[in-house]
A and B are shown apart, each in its own frame.
Chain A
Amino acid sequence: MEIFQQIINGISVGSIYALIALGYTMVYGIVKLINFAHGDVFMLGAFIGFYSITALHLGLIPALLLSMILTALIGVIIERVAYKRLRNSPRISALITAIGVSLFIEYGTIYVRGAQPEAYPGNALPDMVLNLFGLTLNADALFILGVSILLMILLQYIVHRTKVGKAMRAVSHDAETARLMGINVDTTISVTFAIGSSLAGAAGVIFGLYYTKIDPLMGIIPGLKAFVAAVLGGIGSIPGAMAGGMLLGLVETFVSAAGFSLWRDAAAFVILILILIFKPSGLFGQNVKEKV
């Protein structure tokens, strides 16, 4: 039974990573940029959720929605201000800009509200514990799973069944040809950033509920790990990001459960390096031939 309990914990943590990883993978798929600021959008989402519950006295679901809407906006602004000009410049410039934007969001937040951590309101969810075949499922875990699964289904629907999803797939496949076919590439990229960022915002609120502590630098490590998850699943692949996130959550939970909790963060990076060396395309990725 112990092992099933760990699996449930791992999936809860993993679905947070998966939500962040989806944003990474979508943005990478479409503009080939590691959006380092993505982890900080996640942090902003957590704070927006926090303030809308404590200061605006919103319920959990409205707070989650507000956080998603605002982070979507922030994502689009970041793209328009910082990344748009760099679409045709060397990849290194774009990567450094992303690092700059990330530092700016982190320290801007510290400048505005100070570096002190904040405790997430514990009464946002009812204290409900569900006993199922000897496993304990509390309300947090159920909420995390419910929201993540819902969002992932929604994302799958948007990407595969709607017009904008079709445009996104086309642009990610070949932006130039897509433009010739009459697709508005700029709008499509903005939509991608909006969707990815709102998923990160939702992940931020969920993270706050699960770990109960948020601070302005909290986006760094989960952001990096979510990137690891995206690479693990094959960057650019949406099912890959989900699977990668879940897998990473499970590995971390098992490393902790085995008594190596201090090495938990290292495990993610070891996996990253191993994956990059042995299967750079990731579990679900396609091999891309190099062009001269």
Chain B
Amino acid sequence: MKIGNRSFWLFFLASILLYAVFQVLINMGVLDLYYSNLLINIGINIMLAVSLHLIIGITGQFSIGHAGFLAVGAYTSAIITMKMGLPFEIAILVGGIAAMLAGLVVGIPSLRLKGDYLAIATLGFGEIVRIFFLNIDYVGGAAGMQVTHMTNWTYVFLGTLITVLVVRNFTESTHGRACIAIRENEIAAEAMGIPITYYKVLAFAIGAFFAGIAGALYAHNFYVIQPVNFGFLKSFDILIFVVLGGLGSLSGAVISATFLTLVSTFLQQYPETRMILYSLVLVLVMLYRPQGLMGTKEITDFFSFRKPEKEVGRG
């Protein structure tokens, strides 16, 4: 999406409208605390889903430790606001950067691994992060850390918008195409002269950065953060957004994150039922539509008058 062309301005107007409508509704009190909180949760989950989409859907690196980056962002930002007393904006940025550094630390050594092995290594990384915060008394250990509520609709909206824009523009750029080439066939991509390690680490770092920003917003949306919030069930939650939406579809990730956040909020009273439904949906989608509900299509593909491109088979 280039700045200045028609679709850019359409998107720009639509997003301002979306922001304004919800802001007015919140100010007028139509959306009470419950619903504005739901709105914030949706935004945070979209950020997480889109950032993981860049790693799994675009670059094809199967990472299931995303909650680790979320935790790094959450704890770093909480330390900055609560222990150092710096403003929230700085905390958000530093949370993102800390998660990005974590992404580099994980990415550089473990990207020599492929497929299942990378999945299990990132899962291990996520668990190490959780156990690390569990055993550090400075951040409260298992009891967790008190955090002031600072996240509001404006921050979440901006965060979500920037995440979606950056990931979309990255995907459409030369770099994004290189990442897609790696997803489709790593060996062929390497043979074509694409520096695959560079792009894998880049995708990891960008994905981790936005997960960290989501973490900062997540931390300041509650009054307390605990290591137990960042276990691998959280990673699986994020993974399910991406998988259900379609591996490789940005709008799929956004839609399924929105939809599943709504569903799981309404099923909050029945956590077992929620997880059973989740797991059944996951298995059934994988058995009957392994490419996810949207495949690699985007929502715009359904509205354009041009002939849609043929869906690329994934292997």
Contacts and interface: CB of A to CB of B under 8 A. Distances in A.
Interface string B113-138: 10111011101110110011011000
Contacts of B273: 111
Contacts of B64: 99
Nearest to A85: B287
Contacts of B278: 103
Interface residues of B, number: 41
Given A108-B276, A110-B272, A34 B120 contact: yes
Interface stretch (A53-61, A145-153, A168-176, A262-270): A262-270
Interface string A268-282: 011011001100100
Interface stretch (A11-19, A87-95, A199-207): A87-95
B286 A93 contact: yes
Size category of the binding interface on chain A: 35 or more
B290 A90 contact: yes
A100 B283 contact: yes
A154 interface: no
B188 to A, nearest CB: 8
B314 interface: yes
Q: Classify the interface of chain B: helix, strand, loop or mixed.
A: helix
A276 B131 contact: no
B282 interface: yes
Nearest to B242: A96
Interface in A48-102: 82, 85-86, 89-97, 99-102
Contacts of B282: 96-97, 99-100, 103
A90 B110 CA distance: 21
B69 to A, nearest CB: 16
B187 interface: yes
B272 A100 contact: no
A277 B120 contact: no
Q: Classify the interface of chain A: helix, strand, loop or mixed.
A: helix
Given A91-B116, A99-B236, A272-B121, A224 B127 contact: yes
Interface in B51-81: 62, 64
A292 interface: yes
Contacts of A280: 112-113, 117
Interface of B: 62, 64, 109-110, 112-113, 115-117, 119-121, 123-125, 127-128, 131-132, 134-135, 187-188, 236, 239, 243, 247, 272-273, 275-276, 278-280, 282-283, 286-287, 290, 314-315
28 contacts: A86-B290, A89-B290, A90-B314, A92-B247, A93-B290, A96-B243, A97-B283, A100-B280, A101-B279, A101-B283, A103-B236, A107-B279, A110-B272, A111-B272, A115-B272, A224-B123, A224-B124, A231-B117, A262-B134, A269-B127, A270-B128, A272-B120, A273-B121, A276-B110, A276-B120, A277-B112, A280-B113, A292-B187
